[in-house]
Structure 1
Amino acid sequence: MINNKKILLCCSAGMSTSLLVTKMRKAAEEKGVEVEINAVALELFEENVNKYDIFLLGPQVKFKKTVFQKVDDQHGKIVEVINMMDYGTMNGAKVLDFALSLIK
């Protein structure tokens, strides 16, 4: 079982991502998975690099993946883009499963 993992979602505005975080937290609770999930604006990425295991980017900011991955590689972290369909439908369970599958 995966416990105490930390997932941070990064986006431009934060409104829809906050809703997705709520849905992901609910899915984690239903699955009995202990995980911390939060969302921040892109500008706050670097100050959070050491606080989280994985960083998920909203599809609208996928252009930042290369830049963020360089920073995360130095810290042994993971950066991925949330699937556009899962993001658009606010499928918290699928996004949670995706994030957990990347954290070994």
Structure 2
Amino acid sequence: MTKIVLVCAAGMSTSLLVEKIKKAAEVKGLDYDVSAHPVAEVSTKAKDADVILLGPQVRFQLNKVKALLPDIPVDAIDMAAYGTMDGDKVIAQVQKLMGE
């Protein structure tokens, strides 16, 4: 199982995207555990994640999150994918981050 943690300002705005990613993963037969949390909780909620993705509103914290969890791939969610809530595009971004 691949654990994907999305972080945003309060953990709320990414909730819809979490559902879109889960549905897209299910269609593709991927075993993904996807959750959303406030960026303030990233060091505890994402310490065992396989990938961490930041919402556009907290992308300025990218380097901070990378420094906190240096062994985990971290990136900002593609703006177009976030804006359109495109679960397939986010899965492609996750797979690229993981070298798949």
Query: Which bin holds the TM-score, normalised by the shorter protein?
Result: over 0.9
1:101 to 92, 96, 99: 96
Determine if the alignment matches structure 1 residue 13 to structure 2 residue 10: yes
Root mean square deviation of aligned Cα: 1.1
* Correspondence list, 1:50-65, <5 A: 50-65=47-62
Cα deviation per residue 1:25-56 (whole Å; 9 max; x = unaligned)? 00000000011110001111011232211100
The 1-side partners of 2:43 and 2:36 are apart by 13
Determine if the alignment matches structure 1 residue 85 to structure 2 residue 80: yes
Percent of paired sites with the same residue: 40
| 1:8 aligned partner, one-letter code | V
5+ residue gaps in structure 2?
none
5+ residue gaps in structure 1?
none
Structure 1 residue ranges, 4+ long, deviating more than 3 angstroms after superposition:
none
Q: Report the secondary structure of 2:14's partner residue.
A: helix
* 80-89 or 11-20, larger mean C-alpha shift: 11-20
How many residue pairs end up in the alignment?
A: 99
| 2:85 aligned partner, one-letter code | M
